[in-house]
Amino acid sequence: MEAKETIDPWVFTRREDDPFSAPLKNSMDLDPLIKRIDNAEYVLLGEASHGTHEYYTWRTAITKRLIVEKGFSFIAVEGDWPDCYKINQYIKGYSDEKNITEVLKTFDRWPSWMWANWEIASLAEWLKEYNKDQPDGKKVGFYGLDVYSLWDSMSSIMKYFKDKDPQATAIAKNAIECFEPYNEEGHNYARANYYNLEECQDEVVDLLTMVRKKASFTYIDGEEALNAEQNAFIAVNAERYYRSMISFGGESWNIRDIHMVDTLNRLVNFHGKESKAIVWEHNTHIGDARFTDMKEGGMVNVGQLVREQQGEENVVLVGFGCYKGTVIAGSAWGKPMKRKNVPPARKGSFEEIIHSERPENRIFIFDKKNKDERFNNKILPHRAIGVVYHPENEKHGNYVPTRVSSRYDAFVYLEETKALFPLHLQPDGDKMPDTYPFGF
């Protein structure tokens, strides 16, 4: 796919009565966003829920254009590292799996629907086909940024070193045994620390120290060394996350988002100075926290930190939202997924204002020089749906006070959306999820 050379896409597609938005019907209508991204090296794509089909498919459309037209290097998502590394190996042709659905069906941590869905399967197959023509150092990657995979990450390290290095294996085993009493449940560890019971901080630090010292010598493949080291970092930061969780403050949130940014930086360093990153996460992570009520709670997020570290001119934050539709979510922590109705947006919200002006899919570009006075510096309710969702609470919750045109650089508005298509059609267990208490 080639970008248009002779027509300014923004001037060509925008309406005279609204110079700040353009109709959105197909992937070529993304031209204004591609033009806005220009030479930026970080593009963060949001979502207003973790269970909406169109958020995944429109992010896929943007991602494909960024890879083909702008040479982006990898996708990093709000998912577990060990699981997403399986996708990474599959799309690069390094996996024995012949079918992406078999890979995704191994994703069993609640909420499994976030990445084990048909929308991701379609993207993965496209990436695999694209990567066939790329040399090993140029294949597009797919990675998880999140901190939750403590037990899976420790098990991966144990597997790496087993039968290769007895000393390393012993250190990994020691860390695993320290966590065994908590039955692979982060909340059990959090409660134990609240009552001043034994901590496992020293064990995971020893694990990280060992991996950083030995991984590069154990593996010829540099990405496998990265994989081992990242799993060790997860062990350290997950232990911190669970230890802080019992306070119910912003500390655990900050530990998680700082970990995700550190992981993103590690991936950029691994791929080299010319690399470019695409991030898929909830709006609450990619939309700059300084322009929401999160700031008052002392919370930071990925979008804010990446802007501060890389410079605003090198980062484009794209929010997503809809007026109404359906969504996949749970009714309580760890309960089976359900298809739920998303009612029309609350009166006076950002989404309702857009709908009332013109009920059609649109893309907004927030021009910092020529500001849209409808939204400039105005605090508006902006919908955010978590993995647990109660539509009946729309009048009182599910909205974040937001300065939308500052929180994002662009926004994809969809008039009506539908629930995504999960691969796990049966309930995926009743274990408590690790996204407590925020759910994003």
Question: In the chain, what are the domains?
Answer: 9-84+276-417 (3.40.1660.10), 150-246 (no CATH)
Work out the average pLDDT over 13-20. Answer: 59
Nearest CA among 396, 419, 319 for reference residue 117: 419
Query: In a 10 Å sphere around its CB, with 0-12 CB exposed, 13-18 middle and 19+ buried, how is residue 324 labelled?
Result: middle
The fraction of the chain above a pLDDT of 90, given in percent, is 62
pLDDT higher for 252 or 69? 69
Residue 251 has pLDDT above 90, yes or no: no
pLDDT tens digits, one per residue of 298-340: 999 999 999 999 999 999 999 999 999 999 999 987 788 999 9
Work out the average pLDDT over 282-308. Answer: 96
Q: What is the dihedral angle through the alpha carbons of 24, 30, 36, 38, rounded to the nearest 10 degrees?
A: 180
Q: Quote the pTM value.
A: 0.90
Residue 128 has pLDDT above 50, yes or no: yes
Contact 52, 416 (CB under 8 A): no
Query: In a 10 Å sphere around its CB, with 0-12 CB exposed, 13-18 middle and 19+ buried, how is residue 221 labelled?
Result: exposed
Work out the average pLDDT over 136-151. Answer: 93
> For residue 375, what pLDDT is reported?
83
Work out the average pLDDT over 172-199. Answer: 75
> For residue 217, what pLDDT is reported?
59
Residue 203's φ and ψ, nearest 5 degrees, are -65, -40
pLDDT tens digits, one per residue of 378-391: 899 999 999 999 99
Neighbours of 331 (CB within 10 A): 12
Residue 6 has pLDDT above 60, yes or no: no
Distance of CA 271 to the CA centre of its chain: 19
Compute the half-sphere exposure of residue 242: CA atoms within 13 Å on the CB side of its CA.
27
Contact 257, 300 (CB under 8 A): yes
> For residue 188, what pLDDT is reported?
72
> For residue 248, what pLDDT is reported?
58
**If you search the block for the tokens 């359906």, which residue do you land on?**
326
401 forms beta bridges with 381
pLDDT higher for 332 or 277? 277
Residue 342 has pLDDT above 80, yes or no: yes
> For residue 379, what pLDDT is reported?
93
**Spatial distance between the Cα atoms of 154 and 177, rounded to a whole number of angstroms:** 10
Mean pLDDT of the chain: 87
Rg (CA), the chain: 22
Work out the average pLDDT over 44-70. Answer: 97
> For residue 353, what pLDDT is reported?
94
**Spatial distance between the Cα atoms of 320 and 316, rounded to a whole number of angstroms:** 13
Work out the average pLDDT over 349-375. Answer: 89
Contact 281, 317 (CB under 8 A): no
pLDDT higher for 274 or 218? 274
Which DSSP string do the residues of 388-413 spell out, in sequence order? B--GGGTTTSSEEEE-HHHH-SEEEE
> For residue 247, what pLDDT is reported?
61
Helix (H, G, I), strand (E, B) or coil at 75: strand
Residue 430 has pLDDT above 50, yes or no: no
> For residue 8, what pLDDT is reported?
40
Nearest CA among 134, 120, 50 for reference residue 84: 120
pLDDT higher for 146 or 436? 146
**Spatial distance between the Cα atoms of 11 and 33, rounded to a whole number of angstroms:** 12
